[in-house]
Amino acid sequence: MSILVRFKFRTPKKNKKGEHQIPQGDRSLYIQLRINGTPSPSMYASGVKVNPKEWDQKKQQQIGRSNLAEQNNTRLKAIEGEHKEIMNRMISLGKTPTARSVKSEWLNGITPQPTVLQLYDKYLQDIEDLKGTEQAKAKGTIGAWERGRNHLQLFIRCRGKVADIELSEINVAWAREYHKWLMKHEQLEEGKEKQNADTANKYLSFVRTVLDRAVESGHAEYNALDKLVIKGQKPKPVYFLEDIHLKKLKELPLDEENDFLRDWVLLACYTGLDYPDLAAFALDPDSFIVTTFTGKKKIVTGRMKTDIESQIPLLNAVPDILAKYNNQIPIVPADRINKWLRIIRGLIGFKEKTMSLKICRKTAGALFLNEGYSLEVVQKILGHARIATTQRYYVKIIDKRVDREMDRVGVEFA
């Protein structure tokens, strides 16, 4: 499939004497488009004006080094690229581009939305860019995402004999078909004849995550898979520190170095901030603290992971901890804190297999819920994109709150 985008001036109209009337000054450049040698029905305006004396038809550019010449040449290159992008996108979606259809889409100003695999690739690139940072994904996780991309591409090709699909084509029915295909298709994984349910669920969850990113970036109004529930899907258990664990942690007799690490853990538990956000807060706490019109204080920040705003009530313990370090607690790497947490896990009676800063973040949500904050407010505190995430994390606490409200309000009002 070939495409040729050329720019030229229209032939001036003739006067009564049969002579061409050549206008003075700048003139509009028109686009002459050919796909596979077939031209569009007519030329159409590019929106770029150039003085014919400064136009090189062979090189397809404005002569000179002026800022205007540079701007015009840059725009003409962009127009050529836009036409090629429209054509390539049509091909990837299984459509046959023509000079007429490409011209129509370009003239109508339709901004090509990224396709599903393009969004997936963007997410993979974002993961790659995190290497060497505190948010870096494990090598095995990156490998799973890459395999998921290959499976998705194969499914798209098998299903519709196209190279890619648009976001609008994804819905719950599509997802169930993809899940079924993952379960039945042979030899997707080396050494495995077929996928098991958990693995198929994982690859489907990757698509849901990519759609979340599409919503965050404005390419979609909502996640079409938000309400998808796969039977047999096993939710991961969610752990957080109970009051007894925090009490034991605060009472541990520690030397100065370990007390310093404990303070970092407590800050994570009392704010619910991810480590990168917590580190940014620790460097300059005052720049994140806002006073409400009632005189209360809260931490306001955008999560680095999702850019979703978090508004966290400032618990009294937070400024008390910071005051020990003149409001500038020294930064400590996350892996050092996580290593320390694994060491003291048994000392505070935390019986789960792992203990990390992520558990400290979830602890904050539990603290605020137990103090009577609503689920919607805790969602805002933690910066969750979906309230379903908050509900899944704290379902046990919500059950306890129902019992507590029954005791407080009673059941005799009906």
3 state SS of 205? helix
In a domain, 205, yes or no: yes
In a domain, 222, yes or no: no
Nearest to 99 by CA among 28, 6, 166, 176: 6
**Same domain membership, residue 310 and residue 165:** no
- State how beta strands 44-50 and 55-56 pair: unpaired
**Same domain membership, residue 390 and residue 318:** yes
State mean pLDDT over 41-49. Answer: 89
In a domain, 225, yes or no: no
Cα dist from 306 to 18, 93, 295, whole Å: 66, 29, 29
- Compute and round to an integer the Cα radius of gyration of the chain: 30
Query: Residue 229, exposed/middle/buried by CB under 10 A (0-12, 13-18, 19+)?
Result: exposed
pLDDT at 259 over 70: yes
Cα–Cα distance for residue pair 235/221, rounded to 1 Å: 26
More confident site: 242 or 404: 242
pLDDT at 133 over 80: no
**Same domain membership, residue 396 and residue 368:** yes
pLDDT at 139 over 60: yes
pTM of the model: 0.50
In a domain, 223, yes or no: no
Q: What is the DSSP letter of 296?
A: -
Cα–Cα distance for residue pair 364/273, rounded to 1 Å: 9
CATH code, domain with 259:
1.10.443.10
Given a contact cutoff of 8 angstroms between Cβ atoms, the answer to whether 44 and 32 are in contact is no
Cα–Cα distance for residue pair 59/73, rounded to 1 Å: 11
Dump the DSSP string for 107-136: HTT--PPP-HHHHHHHHHHHHHHTTTSTTP
Q: Which domain holds residue 96?
A: 3-107
**Same domain membership, residue 57 and residue 168:** no
More confident site: 93 or 209: 209
Cα dist from 211 to 28, 115, 208, whole Å: 42, 11, 5
Find the helix packing angle between 139-160 and 197-216, rounded to 10°.
Answer: 90
3 state SS of 321? helix
Model confidence pLDDT, tens digit, residues 336-381: 999 999 999 999 999 887 899 999 999 999 999 988 899 999 999 9
Beta bridge partners of 146: none
State mean pLDDT over 152-173. Answer: 88
Model confidence pLDDT, tens digit, residues 147-156: 999 999 999 9
**Same domain membership, residue 100 and residue 168:** no
Q: Domain boundary at 107, 138, 157, which?
A: 107
**What's the pLDDT band for 395 if we cut at 50, 70, 90?**
confident
> What pLDDT does 141 receive?
81
**Same domain membership, residue 120 and residue 68:** no
Query: Residue 54, exposed/middle/buried by CB under 10 A (0-12, 13-18, 19+)?
Result: middle
Q: Domain boundary at 53, 80, 107, which?
A: 107
Query: Residue 63, exposed/middle/buried by CB under 10 A (0-12, 13-18, 19+)?
Result: middle
**Same domain membership, residue 370 and residue 326:** yes
**Same domain membership, residue 103 and residue 210:** no
**H-run or E-run covering 8:** strand 3-8
* Tokens coding 251: 């009472």
| Count of the separate structural domains present in the chain | 3
**What's the pLDDT band for 191 if we cut at 50, 70, 90?**
very low
**Same domain membership, residue 342 and residue 311:** yes
**Percentage of the chain with pLDDT > 90?**
50
In a domain, 168, yes or no: yes
**Same domain membership, residue 395 and residue 295:** yes
In a domain, 57, yes or no: yes
User: Please, what is the average pLDDT of the chain?
Assistant: 86
pLDDT at 387 over 90: no
**Same domain membership, residue 334 and residue 202:** no
Model confidence pLDDT, tens digit, residues 237-256: 778 899 999 999 999 999 99
**Same domain membership, residue 399 and residue 283:** yes
> What pLDDT does 260 receive?
95
